[in-house]
Chains A and B, each alone.
Chain A
Amino acid sequence: MNAIDIRSLRKEYKDLVAVKDLTLTIEEGELFSLLGVNGAGKTTSIKMLTTLTRPTSGDALIYGNSITTHPEAVKGLVDVSMQETAVARKLTVEENIDFYADLNGLTQEEKSMAKGEIYEAFGLAEVKDQRASTLSGGWQRKLSIALALVTRPKVLFLDEPTLGLDVLARRDLWRLISGLKGKMTIILTTHYMEEAEALSDRIGIMDKGSLRFVGTKEELYAASGKTSVEDAFIEMVSGGKKNA
């Protein structure tokens, strides 16, 4: 079953075409990584798919619900963790979770269940009474991603979730993201090629707003003649000019 069905999605800003007629389907339960250099159109694509910005033309269906005609239905199915840490800094970890659950209309029972699962998966119970502002960058990012799971979305968008984290915190988050695989459909954007290599079922490469490649790692290696995602990515977006 297709979780996401993107049909000629396009976004223009005055003279700039940020996303050029993107067409793509993503299966339910798949972890799909979207790679691209800065300005490739990854974040704009996510913003359109999460109803944060309207497409100039085209459409996308999230479990059959159009992002242009039924954005309210889409909002009930998706959640997002953006590049920047998105937490209420003066609230404690538990207050952050409670706030986000209440805002999304979860019942007490649903909230307790979500909290229990999040504490267990992310190890947040030990800092639940600490204000978010007093947490380290790694813990704040964990909380930020955890909040996106409070609503138990069917589709989770992770926009560069490990950006700026040290290697240990990054590996810790990889473990968490791996644990989510199969439980929901995940669309991950990242600049870390090894992250895409380790986590993805399929990889998409965007360049200047267009989708250049979609397939598995093995298909990417075959198409580029390379043996790593990084080399294959460079081959795809710059024709092999590594230092360009």
Chain B
Amino acid sequence: MNENDNGIVISSRVRLARNFEDFVFPSRLDDAGSAKVLEKVENALKNSDEKFGTIKLSDMSDLQAETLKELHMISDDMLRGNKNGAVVVNKTNDICIMVNEEDHLREQCILRGNKLSHAYKKISAIDDMIASSEKIAFDKRLGYLTACPTNVGTGLRASALMFLPGLGMTNSLEKCVNAASRFDMAVRGEYGEGSNSSGYLYQISNQKTLGVSEEEIISSVASAVEQIEQSEILARKALVESNEVMLRDGIMRAYGILTSAYRLPFKEFEEKYALVKLGIYYGYISCNDFNAFESLLDKYRPANMMTHAKKIMNDSERDIYRAANAAAELKQLTAKV
């Protein structure tokens, strides 16, 4: 694994909050109004080069909804929202627009790796397309008007999902959170405020949305991400220098469990998976397809795993299924060095 593909920045996400001028915001919108909002979004995207599909919340099974939630494609707020809540997605699933969530539109682009700027360009093009066919709520002074005034201005939230075991294990994350907050950045757990991160996954995002241009936001988050990435690399160096024997032993034990256990609850899978990923970074474990390895974490999340397996399982069945299948895949993708 080289430094450009060190797996530290897992994904980049850019989200734009938008509302249609002619409709009241979703919390006050009736069913007919929210159905109309959805129709307008679909019409606006009809002439796009990309094909989009709509999944309405009311047509989704619980499993589908949970699967999309695990992939950050829909939010908790959306699941609690009105019956015309929907997600409009492209074929590659990297652009997804939540409709009738807190705002009429939450347009987002999620790309693997460190690609904030690219993600912004993609979603901004979609945003322009929608704005050219519908009047967007906008004020010259305050910018894009949103249901919660904390998002006014650009309505842009840029975030990177980062894998930070080095900073986590050396107890250096607090320093990181401190430094980031001085630059109006927030560091949160993977699924937002209060979510735990047993897999050392953290989201870094901007807090300020007004008085800064979109380009400034993207470049400041990208620069914070780069700083944190460099700190993570240093922390990993310090970690191995402080006690390599213990570290390597911990990693190889985790690898042993992932490839041999009979049952694996997701939390344990996530913890051991993080150590194995670190083992690949240090070269203790070889990996013949790092992208495939990276996709395992999402694949074995409870809802995603059942969707892949095409069957509903109880907790115990899931844990046994995860252990057997993850082990088989890991044995194909990786080997002890």
A and B associate: no
